Amino acid sequence: MSSSYGTITLGGVTYLEKFWTYTSIFTLNAAAGAAGTGYLQPRVTLDGDGGFLLKYMTVQYSQTAGVPNYFRIRLGNSDGSQWYSGAGIVAGGGANDRVHSALLLGNGQFPFPVIPYILFLPNGSINMDCQDLSGVSNQVEMAFHGSKLYSQGNG
């Protein structure tokens, strides 16, 4: 079966695709002057009317004296068993599956492409695991761009 414009077939089911963006705004706090001490696990709860196909990510975060307040992040799905990034073994031993924000998140001019796309089911969530690198309070706004997926005839 050929797909018409605005549709996608996954697992033999054809869906209507509609552009959609989910956002998350949170503050990542660290002990004053102590980079690496602030941790947060925000999540974006998805609507129940259709799945979400994540295609691009963007971020805007605070700056101190013109320097971005960077952080480390990893993304996961609703059940917590699947994470979509890994940094492997770090210097000195141990593992750190959080990736530097500048390496995983784009901006409005250059969004970070997610290849292959990541499918999130209806009523699911995009889980985040964040660690501050700046040592100061960091206001973060993230946007997850992609498509809402509606079964043909719905949406």
Q: Residue 53 sits in a domain of what CATH number? A: 2.60.120
Domain annotation covers residue 8 = no
Which range marks the domain in which residue 140 is found? 19-147
Domain annotation covers residue 155 = no
Number of compact structural domains in the chain: 1
Domain annotation covers residue 81 = yes
Examine the pLDDT at 38 and tell me if it is beyond 80. Answer: no
Confidence class for position 1, pLDDT limits 50, 70, 90: very low
Cα(145)–Cα(21) distance, integer angstroms: 4
Cα(71)–Cα(4) distance, integer angstroms: 41
Which range, of 55-69, 117-131, 138-152, averages the lowest pLDDT?
55-69
Task: Return the number of other C-beta atoms located less than 10 Å from residue 146's C-beta.
Answer: 23
Higher pLDDT, 94 or 134: 134
CB 44 within 8 A of CB 126: yes
- Range 121-149 average pLDDT: 90
Q: What per-residue confidence (pLDDT) applies to 42?
A: 85
pLDDT tens for residues 76-85? 888 767 777 7
Domain annotation covers residue 95 = yes
Domain annotation covers residue 5 = no
Cα(41)–Cα(128) distance, integer angstroms: 5
Token output for 91: 């210097």
Q: What per-residue confidence (pLDDT) applies to 44?
A: 92
Token output for 18: 């509609």
CA-nearest of 133, 121, 155 to 19 is: 155
Domain annotation covers residue 13 = no
* pTM listed for this prediction: 0.83
Give bridge partners of residue 91 from the DSSP assignment.
none
Domain annotation covers residue 30 = yes
Domain annotation covers residue 1 = no
CA-nearest of 116, 117, 39 to 72 is: 39
